[in-house]
Amino acid sequence: MATALRWLGTLTQLGLVETIPCPTDLRVRNLRLTPKGLATMVNLLTELNASSI
Protein backbone atom coordinates (compact mmCIF):
# COMPACT_ATOMS: atom_id res chain seq x y z
CA MET A 1 0.00 0.00 0.00
CA ALA A 2 1.33 3.43 -0.89
CA THR A 3 2.40 5.77 1.90
CA ALA A 4 -0.33 8.30 1.02
CA LEU A 5 -2.99 5.60 1.31
CA ARG A 6 -1.65 4.54 4.70
CA TRP A 7 -1.81 8.14 5.93
CA LEU A 8 -5.35 8.53 4.62
CA GLY A 9 -6.36 5.35 6.41
CA THR A 10 -4.83 6.61 9.64
CA LEU A 11 -6.48 10.03 9.33
CA THR A 12 -9.81 8.36 8.63
CA GLN A 13 -9.48 6.05 11.65
CA LEU A 14 -8.67 9.06 13.83
CA GLY A 15 -11.83 10.77 12.60
CA LEU A 16 -9.95 13.67 10.99
CA VAL A 17 -11.06 13.08 7.40
CA GLU A 18 -13.88 11.29 5.67
CA THR A 19 -14.08 9.90 2.17
CA ILE A 20 -16.99 10.69 -0.10
CA PRO A 21 -17.64 8.64 -3.22
CA CYS A 22 -17.88 10.49 -6.51
CA PRO A 23 -21.42 10.10 -7.87
CA THR A 24 -20.22 9.94 -11.49
CA ASP A 25 -17.04 7.84 -11.17
CA LEU A 26 -17.00 5.08 -8.57
CA ARG A 27 -13.20 4.82 -8.83
CA VAL A 28 -12.85 8.31 -7.33
CA ARG A 29 -13.02 9.09 -3.61
CA ASN A 30 -13.06 12.71 -2.45
CA LEU A 31 -11.73 13.72 0.94
CA ARG A 32 -13.26 16.15 3.39
CA LEU A 33 -12.06 17.33 6.77
CA THR A 34 -14.40 16.39 9.59
CA PRO A 35 -15.22 19.01 12.24
CA LYS A 36 -12.56 17.33 14.41
CA GLY A 37 -10.08 17.52 11.53
CA LEU A 38 -10.82 21.19 10.92
CA ALA A 39 -10.37 22.03 14.61
CA THR A 40 -7.07 20.12 14.63
CA MET A 41 -5.83 22.00 11.56
CA VAL A 42 -6.80 25.37 13.04
CA ASN A 43 -4.98 24.53 16.28
CA LEU A 44 -1.86 23.34 14.46
CA LEU A 45 -1.72 26.37 12.17
CA THR A 46 -2.29 28.73 15.11
CA GLU A 47 0.58 27.11 17.02
CA LEU A 48 2.82 27.20 13.94
CA ASN A 49 2.04 30.86 13.35
CA ALA A 50 2.68 31.74 17.01
CA SER A 51 6.02 29.93 17.02
CA SER A 52 7.25 31.73 13.90
CA ILE A 53 6.76 35.23 15.33
**Taking the domains of the chain in order of start, what are their residue ranges?**
3-51
Handedness of CA 52, 44, 11, 30 (dihedral sign): negative
**Residue-level pLDDT at 43:** 96
Handedness of CA 6, 8, 15, 21 (dihedral sign): negative
Mean pLDDT in consecutive groups of 10 residues from the start of the chain, 53 residues:
88 96 92 97 94 79
**Residue-level pLDDT at 1:** 65
pTM of the model: 0.76
C-alpha closest to that of 12 among 28, 26, 25, 30: 30
Within 8 A by CB and 6+ apart from 19, the residues are 8, 12, 29, 30, 31, 32
